[in-house]
């Protein structure tokens, strides 16, 4: 298994608002990936969300830890997607930053 991809996205929202936005973002992701995802699961334990997505016969799993000033994400990619880790990381950081910008 390839090494998990780690991402940290700083924010100034506080823990509760950052968590709310991530929960809202998961709802939007379900809507966007609904056509290709055969399974999307997430579960919260305190300020940690574990997730698993199966799309196009590829399973991606990971966890998001919400902190007061940042979210830390660890994503486990299958071999087929590990080659795209750099591009995926850039995209996730961009989308995460947009989601967590102060509005």
The number of beta carbons lying within 10 Å of the beta carbon of residue 48 is 13
pLDDT at 103: 67
pLDDT in tens, 43-93: 999 999 999 999 888 899 999 999 999 999 999 999 888 888 999 999 999
Task: Give percent of the chain above pLDDT 90.
Answer: 67
The reported pTM is 0.87
pLDDT at 10 exceeding the cut of 90: yes
Rounded to whole angstroms, the Cα distance separating 48 from 46 reads 6
3-state DSSP helix/strand/coil percent for the chain, to nearest 5? 40, 40, 25
pLDDT at 56: 83
Pick 5-97's CATH classification: 3.30.310, 1.10.10, 3.60.21, 3.10.350: 3.30.310
> Coil, strand or helix: which one is 61?
strand
Residue 5, both tokens: 């991809």
Q: Where are the domains of the chain?
A: 5-97
Rounded to whole angstroms, the Cα distance separating 11 from 18 reads 8
């Amino acid at each position: 298994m390839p090494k998990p991809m780690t991402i940290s996205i700083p924010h100034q929202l506080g823990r509760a608002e950052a968590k709310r936005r991530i929960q809202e973002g998961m709802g939007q992701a379900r809507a966007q990936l609904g056509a290709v995802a055969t399974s999307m699961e997430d579960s919260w334990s305190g300020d940690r969300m574990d997730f698993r997505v199966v799309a196009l016969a590829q399973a991606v799993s990971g966890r998001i830890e919400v902190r007061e000033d940042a979210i830390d994400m660890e994503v486990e990619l299958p071999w087929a997607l590990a080659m795209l880790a750099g591009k995926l990381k850039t995209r996730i950081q961009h989308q995460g930053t947009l989601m967590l910008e102060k509005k």
